[in-house]
Protein backbone atom coordinates (compact mmCIF):
# COMPACT_ATOMS: atom_id res chain seq x y z
CA UNK A 1 0.00 0.00 0.00
CA UNK A 2 2.77 2.40 0.95
CA UNK A 3 4.61 1.51 -2.22
CA UNK A 4 1.53 2.32 -4.29
CA UNK A 5 1.16 5.70 -2.59
CA UNK A 6 4.82 6.49 -3.19
CA UNK A 7 4.39 5.62 -6.83
CA UNK A 8 1.38 7.93 -7.21
CA UNK A 9 3.00 10.96 -5.53
CA UNK A 10 5.23 12.14 -8.40
CA UNK A 11 2.31 12.22 -10.89
CA UNK A 12 1.54 15.99 -10.66
CA UNK A 13 5.09 17.03 -11.70
CA UNK A 14 4.89 14.54 -14.60
CA UNK A 15 1.70 16.20 -15.78
CA UNK A 16 3.35 19.64 -15.70
CA UNK A 17 6.37 18.33 -17.62
CA UNK A 18 4.10 16.91 -20.31
CA UNK A 19 2.24 20.19 -20.51
CA UNK A 20 5.47 22.13 -21.04
CA UNK A 21 6.54 19.67 -23.67
CA UNK A 22 3.27 20.11 -25.52
CA UNK A 23 3.79 23.92 -25.62
CA UNK A 24 7.37 23.51 -26.81
CA UNK A 25 6.24 21.08 -29.48
CA UNK A 26 3.87 23.74 -30.81
CA UNK A 27 6.73 26.22 -31.10
CA UNK A 28 9.03 23.60 -32.61
CA UNK A 29 6.40 22.57 -35.12
CA UNK A 30 6.01 26.16 -36.22
CA UNK A 31 9.71 26.65 -36.73
CA UNK A 32 10.79 23.20 -37.97
CA UNK A 33 10.93 23.86 -41.68
CA UNK A 34 7.76 25.88 -42.03
CA UNK A 35 7.07 23.74 -45.06
CA UNK A 36 3.64 22.59 -43.88
CA UNK A 37 2.56 26.18 -43.25
CA UNK A 38 3.36 27.56 -46.71
CA UNK A 39 0.38 28.72 -48.76
CA UNK A 40 1.36 26.51 -51.71
CA UNK A 41 0.80 23.47 -49.45
CA UNK A 42 -2.46 24.72 -47.92
CA UNK A 43 -5.43 22.64 -49.13
CA UNK A 44 -7.94 25.37 -48.28
CA UNK A 45 -5.92 28.22 -49.76
CA UNK A 46 -8.40 29.00 -52.58
CA UNK A 47 -11.31 29.38 -50.15
CA UNK A 48 -9.29 31.70 -47.90
CA UNK A 49 -8.05 33.54 -50.99
CA UNK A 50 -11.62 34.30 -52.10
CA UNK A 51 -12.68 35.48 -48.64
CA UNK A 52 -9.59 37.66 -48.38
CA UNK A 53 -10.07 39.05 -51.91
CA UNK A 54 -13.74 39.87 -51.24
CA UNK A 55 -12.86 41.77 -48.06
CA UNK A 56 -9.99 43.56 -49.81
CA UNK A 57 -12.24 44.81 -52.62
CA UNK A 58 -14.72 46.22 -50.11
CA UNK A 59 -11.96 47.88 -48.09
CA UNK A 60 -10.32 49.45 -51.16
CA UNK A 61 -13.70 50.69 -52.42
CA UNK A 62 -14.60 52.25 -49.06
CA UNK A 63 -11.12 53.71 -48.72
CA UNK A 64 -11.32 55.32 -52.19
CA UNK A 65 -14.68 56.92 -51.32
CA UNK A 66 -13.34 58.37 -48.06
CA UNK A 67 -10.25 59.77 -49.82
CA UNK A 68 -12.54 61.43 -52.37
CA UNK A 69 -14.55 63.07 -49.56
CA UNK A 70 -11.43 64.76 -48.22
CA UNK A 71 -9.17 65.47 -45.28
CA UNK A 72 -11.72 65.57 -42.47
CA UNK A 73 -13.32 62.28 -43.51
CA UNK A 74 -9.92 60.58 -43.76
CA UNK A 75 -9.07 61.89 -40.28
CA UNK A 76 -12.37 60.53 -38.95
CA UNK A 77 -11.53 57.15 -40.52
CA UNK A 78 -8.12 57.14 -38.80
CA UNK A 79 -9.75 57.93 -35.44
CA UNK A 80 -12.24 55.06 -35.87
CA UNK A 81 -9.40 52.68 -36.77
CA UNK A 82 -7.46 53.78 -33.68
CA UNK A 83 -10.49 53.11 -31.46
CA UNK A 84 -10.91 49.61 -32.95
CA UNK A 85 -7.20 48.89 -32.47
CA UNK A 86 -7.30 50.09 -28.87
CA UNK A 87 -10.34 47.92 -28.14
CA UNK A 88 -8.63 44.82 -29.59
CA UNK A 89 -5.45 45.43 -27.61
CA UNK A 90 -7.24 46.31 -24.36
CA UNK A 91 -9.17 43.04 -24.62
CA UNK A 92 -5.97 41.06 -25.16
CA UNK A 93 -4.98 41.19 -21.48
CA UNK A 94 -8.47 41.52 -20.08
CA UNK A 95 -9.51 39.00 -17.42
CA UNK A 96 -13.25 38.79 -16.80
CA UNK A 97 -12.97 37.53 -13.23
CA UNK A 98 -10.67 40.37 -12.17
CA UNK A 99 -12.72 43.00 -14.02
CA UNK A 100 -15.86 41.95 -12.15
CA UNK A 101 -14.08 42.76 -8.88
CA UNK A 102 -13.02 46.19 -10.21
CA UNK A 103 -16.17 47.97 -11.42
CA UNK A 104 -15.36 50.98 -13.59
CA UNK A 105 -11.69 50.03 -13.91
CA UNK A 106 -12.10 49.37 -17.66
CA UNK A 107 -13.21 52.98 -18.14
CA UNK A 108 -9.80 54.11 -16.92
CA UNK A 109 -8.16 52.66 -20.05
CA UNK A 110 -10.43 54.73 -22.24
CA UNK A 111 -9.89 57.82 -20.08
CA UNK A 112 -6.15 57.68 -20.80
CA UNK A 113 -6.79 56.87 -24.47
CA UNK A 114 -9.05 59.87 -25.13
CA UNK A 115 -6.79 62.15 -23.08
CA UNK A 116 -3.89 61.14 -25.34
CA UNK A 117 -6.11 61.70 -28.37
CA UNK A 118 -7.00 65.22 -27.17
CA UNK A 119 -3.33 66.04 -26.56
CA UNK A 120 -1.93 64.72 -29.85
CA UNK A 121 -4.68 65.96 -32.15
CA UNK A 122 -4.81 69.27 -30.29
CA UNK A 123 -1.14 69.79 -31.14
CA UNK A 124 -1.56 68.72 -34.77
CA UNK A 125 -4.81 70.52 -35.60
CA UNK A 126 -4.71 73.63 -33.35
CA UNK A 127 -3.53 76.07 -36.01
CA UNK A 128 -5.98 74.73 -38.57
CA UNK A 129 -8.80 75.11 -36.05
CA UNK A 130 -7.79 78.76 -35.50
CA UNK A 131 -7.78 79.35 -39.27
CA UNK A 132 -11.29 77.90 -39.47
CA UNK A 133 -12.87 80.08 -36.77
CA UNK A 134 -10.95 83.34 -37.43
CA UNK A 135 -13.96 85.13 -39.06
CA UNK A 136 -16.07 84.60 -35.90
CA UNK A 137 -14.72 86.78 -33.06
CA UNK A 138 -16.46 84.86 -30.24
CA UNK A 139 -15.35 81.45 -31.46
CA UNK A 140 -11.90 82.80 -32.21
CA UNK A 141 -11.42 84.01 -28.62
CA UNK A 142 -12.77 80.75 -27.21
CA UNK A 143 -10.55 78.59 -29.43
CA UNK A 144 -7.39 80.64 -28.84
CA UNK A 145 -7.99 80.44 -25.07
CA UNK A 146 -8.42 76.66 -25.24
CA UNK A 147 -5.28 76.31 -27.34
CA UNK A 148 -3.29 78.47 -24.91
CA UNK A 149 -4.26 76.20 -22.01
CA UNK A 150 -4.38 73.02 -24.07
CA UNK A 151 -1.37 71.41 -22.41
CA UNK A 152 -2.61 72.30 -18.92
CA UNK A 153 -6.05 70.84 -19.70
CA UNK A 154 -4.55 67.57 -21.00
CA UNK A 155 -2.20 67.30 -18.02
CA UNK A 156 -5.12 67.85 -15.63
CA UNK A 157 -7.06 65.08 -17.34
CA UNK A 158 -4.08 62.74 -17.20
CA UNK A 159 -3.29 63.43 -13.56
CA UNK A 160 -6.96 62.93 -12.64
CA UNK A 161 -6.72 59.50 -14.28
CA UNK A 162 -3.55 58.80 -12.34
CA UNK A 163 -5.27 59.70 -9.04
CA UNK A 164 -8.30 57.64 -10.10
CA UNK A 165 -6.00 54.65 -10.67
CA UNK A 166 -4.33 54.99 -7.25
CA UNK A 167 -7.69 55.29 -5.47
CA UNK A 168 -9.02 52.13 -7.15
CA UNK A 169 -6.08 49.93 -6.12
CA UNK A 170 -7.45 46.88 -4.37
CA UNK A 171 -5.71 44.32 -2.19
CA UNK A 172 -4.77 41.08 -3.99
CA UNK A 173 -5.40 42.85 -7.33
CA UNK A 174 -2.28 45.04 -7.40
CA UNK A 175 -0.39 42.95 -9.95
CA UNK A 176 -3.33 42.87 -12.38
CA UNK A 177 -4.05 46.59 -12.00
CA UNK A 178 -0.45 47.69 -12.49
CA UNK A 179 -0.06 45.37 -15.49
CA UNK A 180 -3.17 46.99 -17.01
CA UNK A 181 -1.77 50.46 -16.29
CA UNK A 182 1.52 49.58 -18.01
CA UNK A 183 -0.28 47.85 -20.89
CA UNK A 184 -2.46 50.93 -21.50
CA UNK A 185 0.57 53.22 -21.68
CA UNK A 186 2.37 50.81 -23.99
CA UNK A 187 -0.63 50.92 -26.36
CA UNK A 188 -0.64 54.73 -26.25
CA UNK A 189 3.10 54.97 -27.02
CA UNK A 190 3.57 52.16 -29.54
CA UNK A 191 0.19 52.18 -31.29
CA UNK A 192 -1.64 55.47 -30.83
CA UNK A 193 1.33 57.84 -31.09
CA UNK A 194 2.68 56.15 -34.22
CA UNK A 195 -0.67 56.01 -35.98
CA UNK A 196 -1.32 59.68 -35.14
CA UNK A 197 1.46 60.67 -37.53
CA UNK A 198 -0.99 59.59 -40.23
CA UNK A 199 -3.19 62.62 -39.48
CA UNK A 200 -0.19 64.95 -39.67
CA UNK A 201 0.57 63.51 -43.12
CA UNK A 202 -3.04 64.02 -44.28
CA UNK A 203 -3.00 67.77 -43.68
CA UNK A 204 0.38 68.16 -45.38
CA UNK A 205 -1.42 66.96 -48.49
CA UNK A 206 -3.42 63.77 -49.03
CA UNK A 207 -0.61 62.64 -51.34
CA UNK A 208 1.71 62.14 -48.33
CA UNK A 209 -0.89 59.94 -46.66
CA UNK A 210 -2.29 58.12 -49.68
CA UNK A 211 0.96 57.11 -51.38
CA UNK A 212 2.60 55.49 -48.29
CA UNK A 213 -0.66 53.78 -47.31
CA UNK A 214 -1.16 52.49 -50.87
CA UNK A 215 2.38 51.14 -51.01
CA UNK A 216 1.81 49.09 -47.85
CA UNK A 217 -1.41 47.69 -49.33
CA UNK A 218 0.34 46.86 -52.63
CA UNK A 219 3.23 45.23 -50.80
CA UNK A 220 0.85 43.15 -48.69
CA UNK A 221 -1.24 42.06 -51.67
CA UNK A 222 1.70 41.05 -53.86
CA UNK A 223 3.54 39.35 -51.00
CA UNK A 224 0.40 37.22 -50.56
CA UNK A 225 -0.03 36.57 -54.32
CA UNK A 226 3.64 35.74 -54.97
CA UNK A 227 3.75 33.54 -51.88
CA UNK A 228 0.43 31.95 -52.88
CA UNK A 229 1.66 30.81 -56.30
CA UNK A 230 5.46 30.64 -56.01
CA UNK A 231 6.33 30.53 -52.30
CA UNK A 232 8.74 27.70 -51.49
CA UNK A 233 11.44 29.19 -49.21
CA UNK A 234 10.41 30.25 -45.67
CA UNK A 235 11.40 33.81 -44.81
CA UNK A 236 11.15 34.07 -41.03
CA UNK A 237 10.07 31.69 -38.27
CA UNK A 238 7.89 34.30 -36.59
CA UNK A 239 5.56 34.24 -39.59
CA UNK A 240 5.54 30.73 -41.11
CA UNK A 241 3.53 31.62 -44.24
CA UNK A 242 5.93 34.39 -45.31
CA UNK A 243 8.36 33.33 -48.05
CA UNK A 244 11.39 34.82 -49.75
CA UNK A 245 9.60 34.57 -53.09
CA UNK A 246 6.71 36.64 -51.73
CA UNK A 247 9.05 39.15 -50.08
CA UNK A 248 11.19 39.72 -53.19
CA UNK A 249 8.23 39.76 -55.60
CA UNK A 250 6.38 42.26 -53.42
CA UNK A 251 9.49 44.46 -53.05
CA UNK A 252 10.00 44.77 -56.81
CA UNK A 253 6.30 45.44 -57.40
CA UNK A 254 6.12 48.03 -54.60
CA UNK A 255 9.12 50.07 -55.80
CA UNK A 256 7.82 50.14 -59.40
CA UNK A 257 4.33 51.03 -58.16
CA UNK A 258 5.75 53.86 -56.02
CA UNK A 259 7.38 55.47 -59.05
CA UNK A 260 4.28 55.15 -61.24
CA UNK A 261 1.67 56.07 -58.59
CA UNK A 262 3.57 59.22 -57.62
CA UNK A 263 3.27 60.42 -61.22
CA UNK A 264 -0.48 59.75 -61.29
CA UNK A 265 -1.32 61.15 -57.84
CA UNK A 266 0.96 64.16 -58.27
CA UNK A 267 -1.24 65.51 -61.07
CA UNK A 268 -4.28 66.16 -58.82
CA UNK A 269 -4.42 69.35 -56.74
CA UNK A 270 -6.93 67.67 -54.42
CA UNK A 271 -4.15 65.29 -53.38
CA UNK A 272 -1.13 67.59 -53.42
CA UNK A 273 -2.44 70.79 -51.80
CA UNK A 274 -2.02 71.04 -48.01
CA UNK A 275 -5.16 71.79 -45.98
CA UNK A 276 -4.65 74.87 -43.79
CA UNK A 277 -8.06 74.73 -42.08
CA UNK A 278 -10.77 72.23 -41.15
CA UNK A 279 -13.16 73.03 -43.98
CA UNK A 280 -14.24 70.57 -46.66
CA UNK A 281 -14.17 72.83 -49.72
CA UNK A 282 -12.23 72.22 -52.90
CA UNK A 283 -8.54 73.12 -52.85
CA UNK A 284 -6.56 75.35 -55.20
CA UNK A 285 -2.86 76.03 -54.68
CA UNK A 286 0.51 76.25 -56.34
CA UNK A 287 1.65 72.62 -56.20
CA UNK A 288 5.31 73.61 -55.93
CA UNK A 289 8.33 72.41 -57.90
CA UNK A 290 8.01 68.81 -56.72
CA UNK A 291 4.75 68.39 -58.62
CA UNK A 292 5.72 70.21 -61.84
CA UNK A 293 6.70 68.11 -64.81
CA UNK A 294 10.30 67.91 -65.95
CA UNK A 295 11.45 66.48 -69.28
CA UNK A 296 14.58 64.33 -69.38
CA UNK A 297 16.39 63.10 -72.49
CA UNK A 298 17.16 59.39 -72.40
CA UNK A 299 20.76 58.21 -72.96
CA UNK A 300 21.51 56.94 -76.45
CA UNK A 301 21.71 53.23 -75.62
CA UNK A 302 18.37 53.36 -73.81
CA UNK A 303 16.59 55.44 -76.48
CA UNK A 304 17.74 52.88 -79.09
CA UNK A 305 15.83 50.18 -77.22
CA UNK A 306 12.69 52.24 -76.59
CA UNK A 307 10.26 53.97 -79.00
CA UNK A 308 10.66 57.38 -77.26
CA UNK A 309 13.65 59.66 -76.80
CA UNK A 310 12.41 61.70 -73.82
CA UNK A 311 10.44 61.02 -70.64
CA UNK A 312 8.39 63.39 -68.53
CA UNK A 313 8.46 62.82 -64.78
CA UNK A 314 7.62 64.68 -61.59
CA UNK A 315 10.53 65.33 -59.16
CA UNK A 316 8.42 63.84 -56.36
CA UNK A 317 8.79 60.45 -58.06
CA UNK A 318 12.39 60.26 -56.83
CA UNK A 319 11.13 60.74 -53.27
CA UNK A 320 8.52 58.07 -53.97
CA UNK A 321 11.30 55.55 -54.66
CA UNK A 322 12.59 56.08 -51.12
CA UNK A 323 9.09 55.53 -49.75
CA UNK A 324 8.76 52.40 -51.90
CA UNK A 325 12.05 50.96 -50.64
CA UNK A 326 11.06 51.53 -47.02
CA UNK A 327 7.57 50.08 -47.59
CA UNK A 328 8.99 46.92 -49.15
CA UNK A 329 12.06 46.28 -46.97
CA UNK A 330 11.57 47.87 -43.52
CA UNK A 331 7.82 48.26 -43.00
CA UNK A 332 7.16 44.48 -43.18
CA UNK A 333 9.08 44.17 -39.92
CA UNK A 334 6.08 45.84 -38.30
CA UNK A 335 4.15 42.77 -39.39
CA UNK A 336 6.85 40.46 -38.08
CA UNK A 337 6.73 42.30 -34.75
CA UNK A 338 2.97 41.76 -34.63
CA UNK A 339 3.43 38.06 -35.52
CA UNK A 340 5.88 37.60 -32.67
CA UNK A 341 3.51 39.43 -30.36
CA UNK A 342 0.62 37.10 -31.31
CA UNK A 343 2.81 34.06 -30.80
CA UNK A 344 3.75 35.30 -27.33
CA UNK A 345 0.03 35.44 -26.46
CA UNK A 346 -0.79 32.25 -28.42
CA UNK A 347 -3.43 33.89 -30.62
CA UNK A 348 -3.90 33.74 -34.38
CA UNK A 349 -5.28 37.27 -34.88
CA UNK A 350 -5.88 40.35 -32.78
CA UNK A 351 -9.57 40.27 -33.69
CA UNK A 352 -12.07 39.12 -36.30
CA UNK A 353 -13.58 42.40 -37.52
CA UNK A 354 -12.30 41.92 -41.11
CA UNK A 355 -13.12 38.52 -42.70
CA UNK A 356 -9.99 36.82 -44.03
CA UNK A 357 -7.68 39.45 -42.52
CA UNK A 358 -8.25 39.21 -38.76
CA UNK A 359 -8.64 42.34 -36.68
CA UNK A 360 -7.95 45.99 -37.39
CA UNK A 361 -4.56 45.76 -35.69
CA UNK A 362 -3.56 42.92 -38.04
CA UNK A 363 -4.06 45.27 -41.00
CA UNK A 364 -2.43 48.33 -39.46
CA UNK A 365 0.83 46.90 -38.09
CA UNK A 366 2.93 47.93 -41.11
CA UNK A 367 0.91 51.10 -41.71
CA UNK A 368 1.99 52.53 -38.34
CA UNK A 369 5.68 52.04 -39.10
CA UNK A 370 5.20 53.55 -42.56
CA UNK A 371 3.25 56.58 -41.28
CA UNK A 372 6.07 57.61 -38.93
CA UNK A 373 8.70 57.24 -41.66
CA UNK A 374 6.60 59.18 -44.20
CA UNK A 375 6.16 62.08 -41.76
CA UNK A 376 9.84 62.21 -40.76
CA UNK A 377 10.96 61.90 -44.40
CA UNK A 378 8.57 64.68 -45.48
CA UNK A 379 9.69 67.03 -42.70
CA UNK A 380 13.39 66.26 -43.21
CA UNK A 381 13.79 66.11 -46.99
CA UNK A 382 10.71 67.67 -48.59
CA UNK A 383 9.50 70.65 -46.51
CA UNK A 384 11.68 73.74 -47.18
CA UNK A 385 13.52 75.10 -44.15
CA UNK A 386 12.65 78.76 -44.80
CA UNK A 387 9.86 80.38 -42.78
CA UNK A 388 7.03 81.72 -44.91
CA UNK A 389 5.03 84.90 -44.16
CA UNK A 390 1.91 82.76 -43.70
CA UNK A 391 3.59 80.62 -41.02
CA UNK A 392 4.85 83.67 -39.17
CA UNK A 393 1.37 85.19 -39.23
CA UNK A 394 -0.10 81.91 -38.00
CA UNK A 395 2.29 81.93 -35.02
CA UNK A 396 1.44 85.56 -34.24
CA UNK A 397 -2.31 84.94 -34.36
CA UNK A 398 -2.05 81.82 -32.21
CA UNK A 399 0.46 83.04 -29.62
CA UNK A 400 -0.44 86.72 -29.10
CA UNK A 401 -3.55 88.37 -27.72
CA UNK A 402 -5.41 90.99 -29.76
CA UNK A 403 -3.75 93.81 -27.77
CA UNK A 404 -0.30 92.27 -28.30
CA UNK A 405 -1.01 91.91 -32.01
CA UNK A 406 -2.00 95.61 -32.21
CA UNK A 407 1.18 96.61 -30.34
CA UNK A 408 3.25 94.49 -32.74
CA UNK A 409 1.51 96.10 -35.70
CA UNK A 410 2.29 99.63 -34.40
CA UNK A 411 5.91 98.70 -33.63
CA UNK A 412 6.41 97.11 -37.03
CA UNK A 413 4.92 100.19 -38.70
CA UNK A 414 7.34 102.47 -36.84
CA UNK A 415 10.32 100.28 -37.77
CA UNK A 416 9.35 100.26 -41.45
CA UNK A 417 8.84 104.04 -41.40
CA UNK A 418 12.29 104.57 -39.90
CA UNK A 419 13.79 102.25 -42.48
CA UNK A 420 12.16 104.13 -45.34
CA UNK A 421 13.30 107.54 -43.97
CA UNK A 422 16.84 106.19 -43.41
CA UNK A 423 17.11 104.94 -46.98
pLDDT in tens, 399-412: 777 888 889 889 98
Identify the pLDDT of residue 377: 96
Domains of the chain, residue spans: 388-422
Q: What is the pTM of this model?
A: 0.79
Please determine, for residue 301, whether its predicted confidence score (pLDDT) is greater than 80: no
Identify the pLDDT of residue 88: 92
Identify the pLDDT of residue 1: 42
Identify the pLDDT of residue 28: 42
Confidence of residue 37 (pLDDT cuts 50, 70, 90): low
Identify the pLDDT of residue 38: 63
Between CA 355 and CA 353 the distance in angstroms is: 6
Identify the pLDDT of residue 24: 40
Please determine, for residue 5, whether its predicted confidence score (pLDDT) is greater than 70: no
Distances (CA, A) of 25 to 10, 19, 67, 242, 306: 23, 10, 47, 21, 57
Task: List pLDDT tens digits, range 345-364.
Answer: 888 888 888 877 788 898 89
Cβ atoms 350, 88 nearer than 8 A: yes
Identify the pLDDT of residue 33: 43
Please determine, for residue 27, whether its predicted confidence score (pLDDT) is greater than 90: no
Identify the pLDDT of residue 32: 44
Count Cα neighbours of 349 within 13 Å in the Cβ-side half-sphere.
Answer: 15
The mean pLDDT value of the chain amounts to: 85
Confidence of residue 136 (pLDDT cuts 50, 70, 90): confident
Count Cα neighbours of 23 within 13 Å in the Cβ-side half-sphere.
Answer: 9
- Ranking 62-66, 180-184, 229-233, 254-258 by mean pLDDT, the lowest is 229-233
Please determine, for residue 19, whether its predicted confidence score (pLDDT) is greater than 50: no
Which pairs count as long-range contacts for 37-42, CB under 8 Å and 24+ apart, including other chains? 37/234, 37/240, 37/241, 38/227, 38/231, 38/232, 38/234, 38/240, 38/241, 38/243, 39/224, 39/227, 39/228, 39/231, 39/241, 39/243, 40/227, 40/228, 40/229, 40/230, 40/231, 40/232
Identify the pLDDT of residue 44: 66
**What whole-number percentage of the chain has pLDDT above 70?**
88
Amino acid sequence: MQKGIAGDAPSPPTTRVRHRKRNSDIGAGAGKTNGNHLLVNDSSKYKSFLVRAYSTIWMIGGFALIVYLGHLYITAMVVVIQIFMARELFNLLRKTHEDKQLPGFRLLNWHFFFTAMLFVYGRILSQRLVNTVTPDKVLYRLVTSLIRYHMAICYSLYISGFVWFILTLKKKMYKYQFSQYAWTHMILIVVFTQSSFTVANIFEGIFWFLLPASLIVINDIFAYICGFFFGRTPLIKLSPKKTWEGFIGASITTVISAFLLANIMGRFLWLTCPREDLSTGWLHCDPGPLFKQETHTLPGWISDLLPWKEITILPVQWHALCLGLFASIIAPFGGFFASGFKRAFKIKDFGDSIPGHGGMTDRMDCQMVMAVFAYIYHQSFVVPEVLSVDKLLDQIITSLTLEEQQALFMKLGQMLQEKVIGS
